Amino acid sequence: MVDIKRREELNEALELMHFGFRKLIEKPDQLLAERGMHRMHHRLLYFIARNEGLCVSDLQKVLKISKQALHRPLSTLISKEYVHSMACEEDARVRKLTLTRNGKALEVRLSRMQRSQFRKVFAQASPEMEAAWRSIMRTLINVDSLPR
C-alpha cells in the first residue's frame, strides 16, 4: 500500500504535469482558436511536418487514434489549405499527407512557441536536470513495458 506521504508526492507530480502542459499549450491553443482550430490540429501539423508524405494510416498509428477521430481535424486542415492530401503513386487508395506553405508556416509558428518555452526552462536548469527530465519522460512513455 502507498503511504500518505508518497501519495501526496505522486499527486504533486500529477499536478505539475497538468499545469506544466497547460502552460506549454496555452499560447499555441490561443493562436489555433483564432483560426477556429484546436490542439489536435497542431498535433497533426507537427507530425506531418516531421514525416512529409506520411500516409493517413501511419498518422493514425503515430497518434494512436481511430480513423473516425482523425477524419474531422484532418478534413479541416485540408479544407483550410494547411495540408495537402494526394494519392500514393503505388496505390491510389492510400493518401499521402504534406503541409502546404501555409501549413508549414503555421506549424513552425506554433512549435516555435513551445520550443521557446523549453529553451528558457532548460537554460535555467543544469544539463543533468535536462537529461533527467528527458529520461523521466521517456520512461513515462514506456511505463507499460516496465517490469512490475
C-alpha cell belonging to residue 147: 517490469
- Amino acid 61: pLDDT: 93
Q: Domain with 26 in it: what CATH number?
A: 1.10.10.10
Q: Is residue 69 assigned to a domain?
A: yes
The count of domains in the chain is 1
Domain region containing 46: 9-143
Give the Cα separation of 84 and 112 in Å (integer): 22
Confidence of residue 146 (pLDDT cuts 50, 70, 90): low
CA dihedral 112, 126, 21, 44 (to 10 degrees): 40
Instruction: Give per-residue pLDDT as tens, 87-127.
Output: 877 777 889 999 999 999 999 999 999 999 999 999 999 99
- Amino acid 35: pLDDT: 96
Q: Is residue 111 assigned to a domain?
A: yes
DSSP code per residue over 67-108: HHHHHHHHHHHHHTTSEEEEE-SS-TTSEEEEE-HHHHHHHH
pLDDT at 64 over 90: yes
